[in-house]
Chains A and B, each alone.
Chain A
Amino acid sequence: MMSAYAGKILRIDLTRGEARTETLDPDLARAYIGGRGLATKMIMDETNPNVDALAPENKLIFSTGPLTGTTAVASGRFMAVTKGALTGAIASSNSGGYFGPELKYAGYDMIVLEGAAKKPSMIVVDDDKVELLPAKKLWGKDVHETEDLLHLQFGDEFKCVSIGPAGEKLVRFACIINDKNRAAGRSGVGAVMGAKNLKAIAVRGTGGVSAARPVGFRAACLDALEKLKAGAVTGEGLPSFGTAVLVNVINECGLLPTRNFQQGQFENADQISGETIARDILIRRRACMACPIACGRVTRIAEGKYAGAGEGPEYETIWALGANCGVSDLNACTKANYVCNELGMDTISAGATIACAMELYEAGAVTRKQTGRALRFGDGAAVVDMMTKIGYRRGFGDIMAEGSARMAAKFKRPDLFMGVKKQEFPAYDARGAFGMGLQYATSNRGACHVRGYMISSEILGVPRKMDPLTSKGKAAMNIAFQDLTAALDSAGICLFTTFSIGAPEMLDMLKTSTGFDYDLAEMLAAGERIWNIERLYNLKAGFTKKDDTLPERMLRTPMPAGPAKGKKPPLQKMLSEYYRLRGWNSAGRPAKKKLASLGL
């Protein structure tokens, strides 16, 4: 009997409609921790990395960590791990809420989904009772309607993940939504679920999770809890203003990408800031399981054509739909956010794809006849309108639903795609934070901020302040961030905890909960192992050094104005250092010696 882990894996063959359970291997659990790490190891062992992401041969794993569902701070996390429909790279999208913990209470560390159902289906897990049921009546419903219907049919204690119309229609950046407004957002994990004809999973669990050393674990959790409550970011900034507290900060520092990264500052940033959200639309804040931060924003648009209620926007969203589209209408951005939640789409890629379409339109690369409407920067109504069209693949939305890399290539302007490995950038311009540029280029799931959040050091000064406009020391710091984050994602707690706690606190919680006699070196080696196996997956999937790059605009066009004026990141220099420090050869392949030392 393992502590902290549920100890069982639920494997469901959707093609044959069969479910079975397996015992979790303790040695694998120790080496890969759980969550992102363990699921990636299984994807690597069980699937061919060259498979089409939307083919039945691709697998989709919902995976929790040992800390998920315990009193460890912000332990409501799970990962959706698969080959990404947007990127073709390994995808692991993290989400909070209640679903992950509930899965463990039902007795499973993970659900492995294989094959594809012939007809729209749903899975209902009620402790050890597992059923694959038809979901014909749910197909076509949005995420909120779907959850309401599931609660009506099975009871409101069931926690649900589902896809919306976007996932059903294989929008390449469709996400998986749980607990109505929490999203495993990026890389198109929702399209993979849609391709499997799986509409939803509802779970109820009445069991529990234990800790190997309850007294020590309790002390470790309380220590971390106090630190989060006392921290400036986790105890004040995020609770008061949500992640959007960053809008003004990043804008001041001159790296808030504006109008598809044509500028690094948005003149109307204040109209879409966390402070303005708190003043105008915030009803209350909401937490995921066991989180003292509660960065979730429950909001309401009181009146006008966008009147309604929901959750969000958070920082990345308000940037993607706001500054990046040149839109300063908070209500329009919030409405577009609601549409993303309901139809099940990643707000970052969706917003960035609209921004890319706007630049294509203004550059004359697409015509009004093709788009069906004017697409000009600053037009909030266009953002809301296109969002719905993308979600249902209507009109020009059908082309946008392929993501901005494919769309820009189709219209012969691949240079207007702002991202890496076909995944759109999040809300930081690499010309204003060089380390973030390196992170984008090397991230295993394409452009991403949460694989190694260099902004923490370069802008916010956590754990120490680095000059954002130099390459010095960035490779080493980025590697440290990437490895620690991989371990954290696998353990099952939220990345935001790292604003107030670090590796020692995490180690303390991990040791006392699992009973594994980890030391710091072993825990970080697990993170490094996870990073390297993800890299190996991508190499086998056909990615090469050439894909570890940034768009021409980042590399050749200096930042036009602001604090980072005239700057561009020296990527090649940082990348060479990064490969060397990783123990990879000059082609970006992990050396045999490195792999051997990690047991790969």
Chain B
Amino acid sequence: MSRMKTLTVNPDLCTSCRMCELACSAKHSGEFRPSRAHVHVAVFVDDAVYIPMVCMQCADAPCMRVCPSGALARDPETNAVVVHEERCIGCRLCVMACPFGAIRYWNGLARKCDLCGGDPECVRVCNGALGFDFEERDGAAARRAYAQRLRHTLKEVTA
């Protein structure tokens, strides 16, 4: 298997601008329509916490497992779990099964993130919170950021 890229999320860098929702919905629904975006920024104003929620493209994906018609399958090119519309019967079992609420449903079909075939539109417009990187580097930015903080603490302690 070739090296796969995945969508990475760093909530610390999110500014809650929701540009990802707009770009995603424009690409997939033809409209600027957050209610139909495959990415959703959960904004907790009082806590100053903003978390972009995306499809995790689970290795053992509950949506694939519950699908009775085999409409959800992994794309070998991108590793994304994608909806094959011609097989989807619109039963919404996948919507129920997804622990992250990442599957949407409209006009009789299940809809979900397909990583835009390997060039995610959300990443293109994001300020840095969303990335598209090789799986083995997932978390690298967060590790580095935490290590930086630790470095400063250690410096203070040993100074």
Contacts and interface: CB of A to CB of B under 8 A. Distances in A.
Interface in B94-130: 124-125, 127
B54 to A, nearest CB: 18
A208 interface: yes
Contacts of A218: 26
Interface string A271-298: 0000000000001111111111010001
A105 B35 contact: yes
Nearest to B34: A105
Nearest to B35: A206
A142 to B, nearest CB: 13
A207 B31 CA distance: 9
Contacts of B12: 284
Contact of A287 (B16, B34, B124, B125): B16
Given A179-B45, A298-B48, A208 B32 contact: yes
A489 to B, nearest CB: 20
A378 interface: no
Given A71-B125, A283-B48, A290-B22, A210 B30 contact: yes
B15 A287 contact: yes
A555 B15 CA distance: 44
Contacts, number: 78
A71 B15 contact: no
Most buried by A among B19, B31, B36, B125: B19
A422 interface: no
Nearest to A288: B17
Nearest to B45: A180
A210 B48 contact: no
B17 A70 contact: no
Contacts of A180: 45-46
Contact of B48 (A101, A284, A288, A290): A284
Contacts of B46: 180, 309
Interface of A: 69-71, 98, 101, 105, 179-181, 205-211, 214, 218, 222, 225, 283-292, 294, 298, 309
Given A207-B31, A286-B48, A298-B48, 17 more contacts: A71-B26, A206-B33, A207-B33, A209-B31, A209-B32, A209-B33, A210-B30, A283-B48, A284-B15, A285-B15, A286-B50, A287-B17, A287-B127, A289-B17, A291-B17, A309-B46, A309-B48
Interface of B: 12, 15-19, 22-23, 25-26, 29-36, 45-46, 48, 50, 124-125, 127
